[in-house]
Amino acid sequence: MEQKTYQSKTWFITGASRGFGRIWTEAALERGGRVAATARKLSSITDLNDKYGDRVLTLELDVTDAKQAKDAVEKAYAHFGHLDIVLNNAGYSLVGTIEESSADDIRMLYETNVIGPVSVIQAALPLLREQGYGHILGTSSNLGHVTLPVIGYYCSSKWAFEAIHESLATEVKPFNIKVTIIEPGAYATEFGSQESLKFAAGMDIYGDYKAEFFKSLQALERGDPKATPQALFKMVDSGNPPLRFNLGSHNLEWTRKTYQERMAVWEEWNEISASAQK
């Protein structure tokens, strides 16, 4: 089945109440698309109905509720008749060192950042196969390749997110379903707000270290999130979208440096490593 032009593309977007989710939802609607916009609190997105009318369907969705995810995807599909793009954008960051963060902290993070998106994907795949095409997008981060201290568990959730999508891309290619991992760098979004951050119980021993870490973060050059939609649309309109798609001008330099350092260490130790094969 031939894919729709951008004017008639229909999106399903999680985490549409703020940050990239809100910006991309409104941008998709402004360019003529239709969007099933979801958020944990329906009241945070109902204003979209007044502005965009029947081109938007607003749905309440906590991605940690697999049944609610399935119901939302099926309602969106039934309402619009097809889904061209399924965008998993909901997520948050856990702030805490590896020692400080509890098992419950980590479990909750993974329920939202990893298992939640999988629930949406699993709900959407039968429908995308039935219609014969689709494009699954997932908002990851440049931290899906590199790491920072203090938010190590958040980084780990993005590494898992990336591995899942890379495997998924190979599995669904025969069904004409594409997969792209969106990897933003540092942007001036609400991701640093209290709703997007959860804090592990602190330990005094790490107090000074974390203070210096937060100070260094404040010095980061942050991009304008409103500059991202056109790049995103060029990617989704491409006949051959990439598996991984950087957003921002600093990602590649940081990732390249990190992988060069990794390669150098692997090469240095290769003789000893290879000896373990004999």
Residues that are catalytic: 140, 154, 158
- Is 91 within 8 Å of 113 (Cβ atoms)? yes
Whole-angstrom distance, CA of residue 47 vs CA of residue 52 = 9
Longest C-alpha distance within the chain, in Å?
Answer: 68
Q: What's the rounded Cα separation, in Å, for the pair 261 and 258?
A: 5
Residue whose structure tokens are 């409104």: 26
